Structure formats: C-alpha cells, structure tokens
Amino acid sequence: MARAMYVPQRDCALVNESGEERMKTVSRIFLLVLAVAFAFSTWTFAADAGADVYKAKCASCHGPDGKGDTAVGKNLKLKDLASADVQKESDADMTTLIEKGKKPMPGYEGKLTKEQIADVVKYIRACKKQ
C-alpha cells in the first residue's frame, strides 16, 4: 500500500517557482533557436529564388553553373561568375549591370523586380562558394 507524504505548502511553491523559471528558460531557448532557423531559411529561400530567376533569364548564356560554358558564352567570351573579376564587383555595381545591361546583355529593369535582381546578385555571390 502506498503511503501519502505530507509536503508543506511553502515547499510546493518553491517547486512551482523553479518549474516556472525552468519553463521560461526553455521557452527563451526555443524562441532563439526558432529565430535563427527562420533567418537561415529566409536566406536559403532567397538563394533558391535567385537560382530560379538565374535559370530562367541568365543560364542560356552564362550556363547553369555561371562558367559561361555555353555556345553563346564561349562566343562572347563571358567571364566565369565565380571568378575574382566578377566577385570583386560590389552588389550595387552588379545590380546596375543587371538592371541596365551591358552589350550584348539586355537590361532587366522593368522585367524583373528589384527583389528578383537582388536575389540574382545573392545567387552570383553563392557561385564563388561552389
């Protein structure tokens, strides 16, 4: 037969307080992990969105990997997007180049949103890491 134990009320309050504190700590850690995961997923989503736009608008000349190994890319002697020459360009310069174009590359201002162009710039930056 089980014995009932008497636990004074003040001890229960201490147990509840420490339990509440523990729960607050766990909640804070969970929210921090969630925020970090969200930040990384947003960055990954932007890279994926940039890849989609790149494939639709840029890959026919620059190639699927940005190396310019297409017939058009070789004919135009396009630079490898992962090269130091391309990667040293600022984001603002890349954005302007994509918006305004540079013969024979057409400009995409009005054809792509500013967000899409920014996503393509992020994608080009990621080419360096591949």
CATH number at residue 73: 1.10.760.10
Classify residue 109: in a domain, yes or no: yes
* pLDDT, tens only, 2-38: 666 655 555 454 445 577 788 888 888 888 887 777 7
Q: What angle do CA 72, 103, 99 make, to 5 degrees?
A: 105
49 part of a folded domain = yes
Structural domain total, the chain: 1
In a domain, 1, yes or no: no
- What does the pLDDT look like over 81-113, one tens digit per residue? 999 999 999 999 999 999 999 999 999 999 999
Q: Is residue 4 part of a domain?
A: no
| Alpha helices (H) in the chain, listed in sequence order | 9-57, 59-62, 71-76, 84-87, 91-100, 114-127
2 in a structural domain: no
Structural domain containing residue 74: 9-127
